[in-house]
Amino acid sequence: MKAIKKITLSAAFLLITALGMANEMDLKIVADNADKSLVFRYENLATDASLRFIDGEGNVIFTEKLEDKSAYVKRFNLNSLSTGTYFLTVEDAIKETEYTIAIEDINISIENKSVKNKPIFKKVDDMVYINLLNLKKDKVEIKVYDDSERVVFSEVFNDNDIIEKAFNFEKAFKGNYIIKVQKNDEIYYEGINVD
């Protein structure tokens, strides 16, 4: 009972810490006939992140690693881009935020903003802790695969807003394991090596 309580408290602490490190994003648009541009501001950058600007066909137009600092500002000149839909994506350790941007002849507009919370994997000795903030209470499936791609563990979570799971690999057979977390069409993997 003590071990379960300790694991639950550790997992809760990990989730609270991750939420406390959450970054604030602010996308501002400056648009007029003379200067069609997009200004992206990212504040309180606590963890490394990546920034990508992608066209409607999935081609990466711009990419940059955002390193640990207090603020980041980037201005995109959109005058040379053709009319269409573009995506500005920022991904860090705990979430991915994607803005859908429509560019017309003289207008720029943000059509949509989607935020995907990613699972947090924490390895401590032979333990692996998984936490996932699931505010929409989507179905989440966690599977563990061994070297031979056999499923050695599987669990489905329904209607949970916080997913917490701990795995003890202390008595596991030597080899490599893959933990797969799937929520809707989002799939995340974490590799574990047991010596």
Residue 19 has pLDDT above 80, yes or no: no
Claim: this prediction has a pTM higher than 0.85: no
Calculate mean pLDDT across residues 99-124. Answer: 89
Going from the N-terminus, what domains does the chain have, and what CATH number goes with each?
Answer: 18-117 (2.60.40), 119-194 (2.60.40.3080)
Residue 156 has pLDDT above 70, yes or no: yes
- If pLDDT is split at 50, 70 and 90, which confidence band does 26 have? low
Q: Name the phi and psi angles at 67, rounded to 5.
A: -90, 165
